[in-house]
Amino acid sequence: MVEIREGRRADAEQFVSLLRSLAKFEKLRPPSKAGTKRILEDVFVKKRVNLFVAEDGRKLVGYALYFYTYSSFLAKPTLYLEDLFVLEDHRKSGVGFALFRRCVDEAVSEGCGRMEWSVLAWNEKALEFYERLGARRLSEWYYYRLDERALKRVPKRAS
């Protein structure tokens, strides 16, 4: 039976393995050695981000990584789900739903006005999963990003 619980420092090695599996699934580079060190510190020491894990016996088979933003118009926090990942051999067994549900419960208990996340456009299974749960894709908002290099190129003064 899979248990959903808060991540602990002792989970660090298995969490990093899951994070690397997610990167492979998403066709992205996993965190560098320095990045791995930073995320572990941000999760387990600085508590900048929060972690739920799905544990089957002593093996982690999935995780949800989240943090809070704030809606000025709702005047309430928003739970932002950064990652939801389950190992392939545990998919379609309810683990993903259990992790998602734990995040929903957390959002409710923290008085959040909403919960948000993003999904890669090609990940049809994830899109179907979220839409079955009643989530709707936003069309009126576009997400923008300044990566680390772009942050350094923003001019000091408006032109």
Q: Is 143 exposed, middle or buried (0-12, 13-18, 19+ CB in 10 A)?
A: exposed
C-alpha to C-alpha distances, 157 to 22, 80, 144, nearest whole angstrom: 39, 31, 20
Q: 75 — alpha (psi -120 to 50), left (phi > 0) or beta? A: left
Q: Is 10 exposed, middle or buried (0-12, 13-18, 19+ CB in 10 A)?
A: exposed
DSSP SS3 for 64: strand
Q: Which of 130, 142, 143, 144 is catalytic?
A: 130
Count CB neighbours of 115 within 10 A.
Answer: 17
Q: Is 70 a catalytic residue?
A: no
DSSP structural state of residue 68: E
What residues act catalytically?
130
